[in-house]
């Protein structure tokens, strides 16, 4: 059993894929669900559409979190010089960012949809909506932070014996 087996990049790339795809699930759900609410709002009060685009923007930021983590992890996977330790740490980092992005995007979608529908009837709910959306967004940020910390620990991992 070697420190740097040739199948270590399998797990590293699995981390990259899970960071990007799982956070895209959250972002896509958030965009679509909030977009339905915004179109419903637009039929009654078109002047409020611009302010109610906030849930869609925040769902897009979740996808950016996934992109950042994917780019950082895939920059550290080098052919021939990649330990199994780094592979598993990168897999964990990708899963951390992806799963939290999935949860955050799901929350943003549901909150955005119901809150913009309430915004049509009562304009004072706007501040409450933004506060709730920020709390939902910060879940994805926690995953990003943990993924970045794990990635830096993978950089200082085992060194491969020279080929």
Partner 1 sequence: SGEAFNVGQFLEETSPYAWAGTGIGLCIGLSVLGAGWGILVTGSSILGGGVRSPRITTKNLISIIFCEVVAIYGVIIGIVYSAKLQHVPENLLYTPHNYYTGYAIFWGGITVGICNLLCGIAVGITGSTAAIADAADPNLFVKILIVEVFGSIMGLFGLIVGLLMVGAAGDFTAAASVSPHVL
The contact set with partner 1 (CB under 8 A) reads 1-2, 5-7, 9-10, 13-14, 16-17, 20-21, 24-25, 27-29, 31-32, 34-36, 38-40, 42-43, 46, 49-50, 53, 56-57, 59-60, 63-64, 66-67, 70-71, 74-75, 77-80, 82, 163
| Nearest distance from C-beta of residue 159 to partner 1, angstroms | 16
| Nearest distance from C-beta of residue 65 to partner 1, angstroms | 11
Q: In terms of CB distance, is 66 or 157 closer to partner 1?
A: 66
The DSSP symbol for 21 reads H
Q: Which residues contact 40 (CB under 8 A, 6 or more apart)?
A: 116, 117, 120
| 7, 8, 11, 14: CA torsion to nearest 10 | -80
What tokens does 87 get? 């592979």
How far is the C-alpha of 53 from the C-alpha of 28, rounded, in Å? 15
| Nearest distance from C-beta of residue 135 to partner 1, angstroms | 21
Q: In terms of CB distance, is 112 or 157 closer to partner 1?
A: 112
Rg (CA), the chain: 20
């Amino acid at each position: 059993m070697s420190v740097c087996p040739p199948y270590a990049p399998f797990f590293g790339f699995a981390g990259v894929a899970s960071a990007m795809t799982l956070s895209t699930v959250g972002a896509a759900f958030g965009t679509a669900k909030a977009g339905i609410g915004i179109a419903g709002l637009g039929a009654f009060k078109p002047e409020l559409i611009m302010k109610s685009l906030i849930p869609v923007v925040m769902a897009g930021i979740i996808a950016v979190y996934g992109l950042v983590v994917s780019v950082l992890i895939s920059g550290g996977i080098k052919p021939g010089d990649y330990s199994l330790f780094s592979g598993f740490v990168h897999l964990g980092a990708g899963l951390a960012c992806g799963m939290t992005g999935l949860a955050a995007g799901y929350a943003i979608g549901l909150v955005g949809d119901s809150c913009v529908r309430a915004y049509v009837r009562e304009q004072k709910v706007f501040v409450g909506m933004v506060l709730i959306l920020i709390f939902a967004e910060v879940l994805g940020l926690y995953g990003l932070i943990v993924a970045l910390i794990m990635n830096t620990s993978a950089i200082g991992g085992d060194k491969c014996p020279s080929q």
